[in-house]
Every structure is written in C-alpha cells, then in structure tokens.
Amino acid sequence: MSADQARRDRLVAELQRAAKARQVLPGFLARLCDRELSQPGRSDREALKRAKRALHQVGGAYLAPSMRYDRWLADLADADPGPARLARVAAILGTHTSMGERLGRLGDYYAALFDGVSEPDTILDLACGLNPLGRHLMPVTPRRYLGCDIYLDLLAFVASASELLGHPVETFPHDLLDGPPERSADLVLLLKTLPCLDQLDRSVSRQLLANLDAPTVLVTFPVRSLGGQPKGMRSFYRNRFAEVVDGLDYAITELDLGIELGFRLRRLEPGNRPSAPPT
C-alpha cells in the first residue's frame, strides 16, 4: 500500500466516526477524501473538515438528525393497514427535507411529475432517498421499482418498509459519480439530484444524462434554499439545465410542478436532433 493510500484510508476511517457517515457507501467516502487530499498542502485535519462539509451538502443536510429506521419500521408494522399506516408513512416522509417540502401536496406533485408519461414497466429512482415510500400516491404502477442511494441504512429501510406497504422496491447502493448504474428502465427519476452532483463534479450531470439506458427521464431542481428562500434559483437552474443538456439527444418539456422546477426528457431516435431546452 502506498503512503497516499494509507493516508486516504486513515481519513476514511476517521470520517466514518461521524454519525451521518457511518452508513454511507465506503467508496463514496473514499472519493470525498481523495478529492480533498489531492489539494496541494492540505492537512489531514483540513481535508477531513472539508470532506464532512461536502457529505453534509450532498446528503446529510436532507436527513433528520436521527433517522430511526428500526423504530419507524416497527411503527409501520404495528399500525393497521389503511389510513393509520399511511399517516405514519407521512410522518416518516416529513423527516427528509425534499419529501417534507412536497408532503402537503404530494399527490398533486406526482400527478404533475408523471403527466404525459406512458405506464412504465420499470422505474429507476436515482439517489432515491425516501421517495419510493410515496408509491401509493403515484399515478403509475410499474412492475419493478428500483432505487439506489449512498446511504446503506436508508436503502435497507426503504426495501423493508415498501414490502410492508405492498409496493416493493428493489434497492441497491450506487455512487452516481461513477456514472449511471448498469440497469435499464423505462423511466428514470432524478429528483433534485443534479445540483448535489454539481457540488462535487460539474461534468457528471451531462455524462449521466448522456449514458442513461432509458427512453424517458424526469429531472427536477429546487426553487428554494433549505432555508425557504428563492434566491433566483428557478432561473439559475433553468439556465444550468440548458447548459447540461445542450446537444444531447433528448426532446425536452418543462413541467409545471410549482414547488420544483421539472423537465421531462424523451430520448430521440438516432439521427434526430433534440428540441431546444426551455430558456
């Protein structure tokens, strides 16, 4: 093992001591540490601090301080099927920032998101978070629903809870910075994910969209900060998205989601040029 690898491994082990890093895909933590250690003259202490900050920005900020998966699963199992159990699902969804923002209008949100989408056989939800637990409100009923994320405990919970709710989800860990997972689907969901990838590598969003094995992709962006302020985010992300998809073989339609900026991407047949993205 080289000195650089040993240094990286020590930093990963130190990072894993943080509560919100213990259940994160180890390869993703190693990537964060490599990224910070590659900066000339950066101390281990500063690299660790910056790696923790990056992990918070791309994932930890969206999770409650304590995600009590075992307790939540027990609560779901104890609740009577029907309204009582769905009320507990709603309470759980509220612990995730993105889902909490949608919660009061989740049915309407999904109706607008899936508007114009043909019934898919397989959905692939990238960086899924707790979104798959809203399947009972989605106006589509795929035969297979796949979800990936970097949080191993979250994925285990989603798999168990979705089975209990009667809408099974096949979960698996994956780092999108490595590119799309080797899965094909009729429909891919990328909900408020591209801005997180941009914080680590601005080239990844375009590469990801170019290489997805799916005819239809639904992409959304936030329009307010975590503190609830607009800060010109709708315009900023509309322009950023246009930059990302410029020249890619998709026909693009902007979606009226209200609480998020959304786009439907349809893969064009070879030889055709994409329609211009909204400006």
Q: What is the pLDDT of residues 50-68, one digit of tens each?
A: 999 999 888 887 787 778 9
3-state secondary structure of 263: strand
Percent of the chain with pLDDT over 90: 78
Distance from C-alpha of 107 to C-alpha of 102, rounded to nearest angstrom: 9
Q: Show me where the domains of the chain are located.
A: 3-58, 104-267
The neighbouring-strand residues paired with 123 are 145, 187
Name 133's Cβ contacts closer than 8 Å, sequence gap at least 6.
89, 92, 93, 158, 161, 162, 165
Least confident of 22-31, 34-43, 254-263, 264-273: 264-273
Arithmetic mean of pLDDT, 5-24: 91
Mean pLDDT over each residue of the chain, to the nearest integer: 91
Return the CATH fold of 104-267.
Rossmann fold (3.40.50)
pLDDT tens digits for 140-198?
999 999 999 999 999 999 999 999 999 999 999 999 999 999 999 999 999 999 999 99
What's the pTM value of the predicted model, to 2 decimals? 0.92
